[in-house]
Amino acid sequence: MSDTDSSSSVRIGIGLTALGISGAIVTALMGVLYAPMVDSTAFNAPEAYRILYWHVPFAWSSFLAFCMLFLGAVAWYKDRSDWGWRWFSTGSDLGLLFGLGVITSGPIWGSAEWGVPWDWGDLRLNTFALLTGVALFLVLSRRSQPDGQETRDTLAAVGLFGFALVPITALATTWYQKRHPGIVLVNGEETGLDPAIRTVLMMGFLSFLILFIGLAMLSNEVIRMEERLEQSKMELDGGNKYDRNL
Partner 1 sequence: MTGTSEMIVAYTILSFILVYYVNHLRSRMAELTTQLKIFSSDSEE
Instruction: Give the number of C-alpha atoms closer than 13 A to the C-alpha of residue 106, restricted to the C-beta side.
Output: 21
Rule CB under 8 A: say whether 139 interacts with partner 1: no
Please state, in angstroms and rounded to a whole number, the distance separating the CA atoms of residues 104 and 156. 27
Please state, in angstroms and rounded to a whole number, the distance separating the CA atoms of residues 55 and 126. 16
Task: Kindly determine how many residues on this chain lie close enough to bind partner 1 according to the rule CB under 8 A.
Answer: 41
In whole angstroms, the minimum distance from the beta carbon of 198 to partner 1 comes to 19
Please state, in angstroms and rounded to a whole number, the distance separating the CA atoms of residues 40 and 19. 34
Rule CB under 8 A: say whether 28 interacts with partner 1: yes
Among positions 60, 76, 109, 212, the unique one binding partner 1 when judged by CB under 8 A: 109
In whole angstroms, the minimum distance from the beta carbon of 32 to partner 1 comes to 8
Which contacts qualify for 177-182: CB closer than 8 Å, 24 or more apart?
A: 178/119, 178/121, 178/122, 178/123, 179/110, 179/114, 179/119, 179/121, 179/122, 179/125, 180/119, 180/122, 180/124, 180/125
Instruction: Name which of residues 87 to 106 contact partner 1 (CB under 8 A).
Output: 97, 100-101, 104-105
Pick 112 or 160: Cβ nearer partner 1: 112
Rule CB under 8 A: say whether 48 interacts with partner 1: yes
Rule CB under 8 A: say whether 12 interacts with partner 1: no
Rule CB under 8 A: say whether 80 interacts with partner 1: no
Rule CB under 8 A: say whether 45 interacts with partner 1: yes
Candidates 125-133, 152-160, 167-175, 217-225; binding stretch for partner 1 (CB under 8 A): 217-225
Rule CB under 8 A: say whether 67 interacts with partner 1: no
First to last CA, the chain: 27
What is the phi/psi pair of residue 148, to 5°? -175, 175
* Residue 128 CB neighbours (<10 A): 25
Rule CB under 8 A: say whether 203 interacts with partner 1: no
* Residue closest to 61 by CA, chosen among 207, 221, 159: 207
Applying CB under 8 A, the residues found at the interface with partner 1 are 10, 17, 21, 24, 28, 32, 40, 44-51, 54-55, 58, 97, 100-101, 104-105, 108-109, 111-113, 211, 215, 218-219, 221-222, 225-226, 228-229, 232-233, 236
